[in-house]
Structure 1
Amino acid sequence: MVRNRREELYVTVPTLFRCPISMDVMKSPVSLCTGVTYDRSSIQTWLSQGHNTCPATMQILPSTDFTPNLTLRRLINLWLQHQPPHAPSSSAVTKSEFLEIVKNLNGEKNRLSSLLKIVEFLKCSSENRRFFVSLSDAIVNVVGVLVDCDVVEVCELVVAVLDLVISENEVKEILRSDRRYLSKFLMILKNGKLSSRIQTAKILEFIALDVNSQRKIVEEQGLLYELYVFINTETNRFAIEAGLSTLIAISTTRPVRKELIRFGIVETIGKIITGSETARIVVEKSLKLLETVATCTEGRSAIGKSEDCLSGIVTRLMKSSRAATEHGVTVLWSVCCLARDEAAREAVGKVNGVMKVLLVMQSDCSAGVRQMCGELVKALRVGNSNSSNKKYSKSCLASYDTKTTHIMPY
């Protein structure tokens, strides 16, 4: 009977609209450099697990960047508009069964199985996710499992549930009101699988929207350090991006920045931005965090001592996003102009920093950044004239005319 009913309601989905990984209709189709298109969430999960190949062709990916397939997305949306408005859910459980699972979650002996069913239910549709959030005490019950359980696999499933609904205000408010679950986040960052660690970092970023929440995260012993270790040891672009985003969100006070400097955040960012295959969004977030660190004396001192980091910043100017370039200029200005670090000025000059700064001045940058560029050129010229390096002192800086209005790219 069930089989006949399902066959009666079955809707044929064009193969082109199905994600090669999940086999579901794609919600946000994106294409890899191999030309194969996947649903964004599916390919992100694949890459976050450490794979460096295209799942369909198994080709090694020279780049893990992907591009939205807007044409296919429009075709899918057009097709969906002509489907029955009340198509049956592909969820493994009905809403009534789901209610029972959520209600008895804290008393369940087999929590792993129950949480798996909740995750599958939430993945099916945005309607299911709204239904879940609207349930009385549903989020409280799920967070309660996280607080009471010490099994990594169970905690990872709770994180998967929260990751699916974290954008809802009700969820963020509940997570901000209690900090007992943070120790389980620490456990996942230490021992969880990569996809769960990425989800954990994303959730922490979502809830770190006010000073009180940021303070709770930082006060959890070891959590800040594990977030640092996360970006320092991982090579996966989604892991590094998630970790950087979280650190940016919680680095709003000087004590936090000083701790990150003590851990070695400047050297770590230097390593990231000098990587030849580093994604643009990762470069942008790296320079944003570096700009945050440079707001304190200790940060400017650490950056000034790292010639590799300074060289990496100069190299990335005008080669990533506009935001990345402006973050980079701000860092260089903080060290070379605000801190008046002579060694930093010399290091920047050695890698043709003035040429890059001049190019930024002629680009579509903000007025504030253009002013910092002007001050940087003057500072680097002074640093050059005082340099003991004769070869360096004969560079273009020595005869630079501040009235120059145009310079050809090199």
Structure 2
Amino acid sequence: MTRRSGRKSSFGVRALVGLQGGELTVPAHFRCPISLELMKDPVTLPTGITYDRRNIEAWLEAGHETCPVTKRLVAGGQDLTPNHTIRRLIQDWCVANRKYGVERIPTPRIPTSAAEVAGILSELAAASQRGEVPRCLELVGRIRCLAGESERNRRCIVSNGAAAVLSAAFAAFSRVNAGRPAEVEEEILAALAGMFPLGAESRSQLAAPESLRSLVGIVSNGDLTGRLNAVQVVKELVHTDVALVGAVADAEGMAEALVKLIREPISSQVTKSSLVAIFYMVSSREATASRFAAMGLVPVLLDALVDCDKSTTEKITGVLDGLCGCRRGRQAAYHHALTTPVLVKKILRVSVMTTEFSVSILWKLCKNSDREAETGEGCLAEALQVGAFQKLLLLLQVGCGEATKEKASELLKLLNASRLKPECIDSADFKALKRPF
């Protein structure tokens, strides 16, 4: 394997311009047989072939049961033996070629084992039951440190039931602290945030009344990282387990805390996670949607919708669709000057998801406007004036999902009836369009 002068390889080799021949050759036995790149963490299979750990683990995890070189069968659970000799030779080679820009490969950390993880979790479970805060902080810190070292460590920790132990510890301290979360609870949430999706046992512990009180406390008053982790746990609970949505939404102070994060954003990540959590809540029950609408969420979202990125737009329109499923949410939308113009503008402009939500919101507003809007047909008239008719015709021509197609067709019928009335819009605006009905 050679690297030409002036090019930097993925393992940090840069041949200097003045190098004889313009090339730097990497010894063949230093290269992983899978990637052909310099090995950073050489490990040997029982077949005697040495690979870079990341590559051979990916090979085995993909379902392969043989050694890539020898084709001999290898058990998936067999340990990979670190090849310290090859690793030291590679490091010596890197040092010897330092003048050519070769960077020394650092000594890799030894991956954690199931036995080590089980021991830490056992100690954590016992310490949390005894209420030993310093010891629990130390153990949770070890878990986070190990999980942060490599994806392999994280998988090992998750597979050994860490989420259930951490959730139980969170519930235990929540009972002691009675809704006044302390540092240990925020540290536990930080560890849990890297272990999604959570299992049923973990979700049950975190959805207990005392745990929800602590979550609300952190969402409301924690630092930036703590609030982000707490919101992500709330989001995990409501989008993973439909049975828990009501309990989480009804937790005292939860709705208010989430709405405050939208009204007074502290980071885009927190905002997006809060929007997803609210989406599942307002989509579950009309009463929940009405409660969020009563907090003034509709105008806040409509103002934010004017200028936001694609991901946020999708989430905001999703929440608005849920809020407009209740009368209070629709009333708030009718009273906001931006509602119809901004929704029509988003159709076919941002993404398929945004288009579907925008059509659904307009459909809910227009079909109920006769009964609910103070101005009667004002919603339909405004939709015509801002080009909804043309947008919906184009949408049907381009194609969309069946549910969106039905709503768009019904909207066109409502708009078609209104556009014939001179007080709504000048029909000359549509003289080039053929009537589809």
**TM-score, length basis structure 1:** 0.70
Match of 1:85, as an amino acid?
A: L
* Residues 1:316 and 2:313 aligned together: no
Measured at CA, do residues 248 and 109 of structure 1 come closer, stay the same or move farther in structure 2, by a change above 3 Å? closer
Give 2:320's aligned residue: 290
- Matched length: 329
Distance (Å, rounded) in 2 between the aligned partners of 1:397 and 1:384: 9
Q: Distance in 2 between matches of 1:173 and 1:202?
A: 13
Does residue 107 of the first structure (1) align with residue 131 of the second (2)? Answer: yes
Match of 1:365, SS state, is coil
Deviation at 1:94?
Answer: 4.7
The residue that corresponds to 2:261 in the other structure is 230
Q: 1:393 to 1:371 in 2, by over 3 A?
A: same
How far has the Cα of 1:268 moved from its partner?
A: 1.7
Tell me, yes or no, if structure 1 residue 344 matches structure 2 residue 318: no
Distance 1:210 1:101, change over 3 A: closer
Measure, in 2, the Cα distance between the counterparts of 1:121 and 1:293: 42
Amino acid at match of 2:434: D
Name the amino acid aligned to 1:383.
Answer: S
- Kindly state the Cα deviation for residue 229 of structure 1 after the two structures are TM-superposed: 1.4
SS of the residue corresponding to residue 183 of structure 2 reads helix
Of the three residues 136, 144, 155, the one matched with 2:172 is 144
Residue among 408, 411, 436 paired with 1:376: 411
Structure 2 CA distance for aligned equivalents of residues 298 and 103 of structure 1: 49
Distance 1:108 1:139, change over 3 A: same
Between 226-235 and 111-120, the greater mean CA deviation after superposition: 111-120
1:142-163 per-residue CA deviation (whole Å, 9 max, x = no partner) reads: 4312442435433221211222
Mapped contact 1:317–1:356 kept (Cα < 8 A): yes
Q: Could you say which structure has the larger radius of gyration?
A: 2
Bigger drift between 78-87 and 248-257 goes to 78-87
Distance 2:131 2:81 in 1: 34
Q: 1:333: Cα distance to partner?
A: 1.2
More displaced 10-residue stretch of structure 1: 278-287 or 379-388: 379-388
Q: Does 1:14 align with 2:11?
A: yes
Which aligned segments of 4 or more residues in structure 1 are displaced greater than 6 angstroms? 76-79
Give the equivalent residue in structure 1 for 2:305: 273
Residue in structure 1 matching 2:80, options 57, 82, 85: 85
Q: CA shift at 1:82, angstroms?
A: 4.2
Select which of 210, 214, 227 maps to 1:180: 210
Change (3 A) 1:121 1:312: same
8 Å contact 1:186–1:223 — kept in the other structure? yes
Partners in 2 of 1:219 and 1:241 — Cα distance? 21
CA contact (8 A) 1:129 1:164 kept: no
CA spacing shift, 1:131–1:326, aligned 2, 3 Å: closer
Q: How does 1:73-222 map to 2 (within 5 A)?
A: 80-82=54-56, 85=80, 89=110, 94-95=116-117, 96=119, 99-105=122-128, 106-110=130-134, 111-124=136-149, 125-133=153-161, 137=165, 139-149=167-177, 150-175=180-205, 178-208=208-238, 209-210=240-241, 212-222=243-253
Q: Which moved more, 1:223-232 or 1:203-212?
A: 203-212
Pick closer, same or farther for the CA change 1:295–1:222 going to 2, 3 Å. Answer: same
Q: 2-side partners of 1:307 and 1:291: how far apart? A: 17
Structure 1 residue 188, shift from structure 2 partner: 1.0
Higher relative contact order (CA 8 A, sep 6+): 1
RMSD between superposed Cα atoms in Å: 3.3
Residue number in structure 2 paired with 1:22: none
Q: Amino acid of the residue matched to residue 143 of structure 2?
A: I
Correspondence list, 1:230-269, <5 A: 230-234=261-265, 236-251=267-282, 252-269=284-301
- SS of 1:362's equivalent in the other structure is helix
Distance in structure 2 (CA, Å) of the matches to 1:242 and 1:137:
24
1:299 aligns with 2:314: no
Q: Secondary structure at the match of 1:284?
A: helix
Supply the distance in 1 between the matched residues of 2:182 and 2:428 (Cα, whole angstroms).
58
Q: What does the per-residue CA deviation read over 1:311-346, in whole Å, with 9 as the maximum and x for residues that have no partner?
A: 211111111221210111111111113444512122
Between the aligned partners of 1:145 and 1:160, the Cα distance in structure 2 is 15
1:222-250 deviation per Cα after TM superposition (whole angstroms, max 9, x unaligned): 11111111122216332222111101112
> How far apart are the structure 2 equivalents of 1:297 and 1:173?
32
Alignment check: 8 A CA contact 2:164 2:199 kept: no
Give 3-state SS (helix, strand or coil) of 1:164's partner: coil
Q: CA shift at 1:170, angstroms?
A: 4.2
1:101 and 1:214, CA in 2 relative to 1: closer, same or farther beyond 3 A? Answer: closer
Q: 1:162 to 1:171 in 2, by over 3 A?
A: farther
Cα distance in 2 for residues equivalent to 1:300 and 1:195: 35
Letter in 1 for 2:418: G
Aligned-pair CA distance for 1:288: 1.5
In 1: Cα distance, 2:120 partner to 2:401 partner: 56
Distance 1:356 1:283 in 2: 18
Contact kept, 8 Å, 2:181 with 2:218, in 1: the verdict is no
Contact 1:231 1:244 in 2 (8 A): yes
CA distance in 2, matches of 1:223, 1:286: 19
Alpha-carbon separation, structure 2, partners of 1:387 and 1:235: 48
